[in-house]
Structure 1
Amino acid sequence: MLNGLMKNNSWFPTMFDDFFNTDFMPRANSTAPAVNVKESEKAYTMELAAPGIKKEYCRVGINDEGNLTIAIENKQEHKHEDSHRHYLRREFSYSNYEQNYILPDDVVRDKISAKVEDGILTITMPKTEPKEKVTKAIEVS
């Protein structure tokens, strides 16, 4: 619903539309993790749900265009052995996710941090300090 609201209302700030709407960007496969984005006074926080994910499988960075890049490679192997029949079965699960996100201008790119905990990749993107607005009359000569 929110994504539709952002696409259909021209008054919605384009910075947030660009940040949240990534439909035009290709994905490594169609099974993308669920993503939550929160905003506070001091930071944006992005959470990606990836059950069973380990930090070794995650890459987070800033590309040449200044965009946030997230790549997750998840490999799992399940073995089932039956010694009575000399039967061995292995089930491999392999999934890839890679996405670029356009960041708002107020993100301090060199202070972005990421952590994995309980199957959630959390990326914290601190905001710049708000600048004071300067108003003054300028004498015309």
Structure 2
Amino acid sequence: MTLVKFNNGQKNYGVNPFFNDVFDTILNDTFLGDKLVSRVPAVNIAETENEFQIELAAPGLKKEDFKINLDKNVLSVSTEKKAENVEEGKKFSKREYNYTSFVRSFTLPETVDHSKIDAEYANGILKLIVAKREEAKFQTREIAVK
């Protein structure tokens, strides 16, 4: 019978522990992680008595850049912006394009009123207001003790 050693989540430092630690810090660096996360806008979602409020941080765009779709219970917000820097009268050996796009999708609960969804874009924040159905709103009442 042959015995095989498994790592079981522990680091195997081998010959030089510093060598492996350098690779761990490079691969798990927050700078690289932040770059990957920044491709989609940050979102705040709040719930009030009458509605849900979804706010997306998307600076540098115009309200015409957004496309908002509702497919059954999935609300999708997307944008596609293509800008190019062109100077007339020069021969370019290199031209730079700026292309920005993202898609964020939200699964809406059964309690929302699909006919009452509003969107507003101001100061780099896209704010979506999703109203609740009347029967889904919080009902408050006092209960008498008998």
TM-score bracket, normalised by the shorter chain, equals 0.5 to 0.7
1:109 aligns with 2:114: yes
Structure 1 residue 79: Cα displacement: 5.3
Residues 80 and 34 (structure 1 numbering): CA distance in 2 closer, same or farther, change over 3 Å?
A: farther
Residues 92 and 103 (structure 1 numbering): CA distance in 2 closer, same or farther, change over 3 Å?
A: same
The alignment's C-alpha RMSD in Å is: 2.6
Alignment correspondent of 1:52: 60
Q: Counterpart of 1:112 in 2: which secondary structure? A: strand
Residues 80 and 59 (structure 1 numbering): CA distance in 2 closer, same or farther, change over 3 Å?
A: same
Alignment correspondent of 2:125: 120
| Contact kept in structure 2, 1:80 and 1:90, CA below 8 Å | no
Match of 2:70 among 59, 62, 76: 62
Alignment correspondent of 1:20: none
Residues of 1 paired with 2:43 and 2:60: CA distance?
Answer: 16
Alignment correspondent of 2:20: none
Structure 1 residue 49: Cα displacement: 0.9
1:96 aligns with 2:104: no
Residues of 1 paired with 2:43 and 2:138: CA distance?
Answer: 30
**% identical aligned pairs:** 34
Q: Counterpart of 2:115 in 1: which secondary structure? A: helix
Aligned residues: 101
Structure 2 portions without partners, runs of 5+: 1-35, 140-146
1:75 aligns with 2:78: no
Structure 1 portions without partners, runs of 5+: 1-28, 133-141
Q: Which has the higher contact order (CA 8 A, sep 6+)?
A: 1
Residues of 1 paired with 2:75 and 2:62: CA distance?
Answer: 20
| Contact kept in structure 1, 2:84 and 2:98, CA below 8 Å | yes
Residues of 2 paired with 1:55 and 1:46: CA distance?
Answer: 16
- Structure having the higher Rg: 2
- Give structure 1 regions of 4+ aligned residues with deviation exceeding 6 angstroms: none
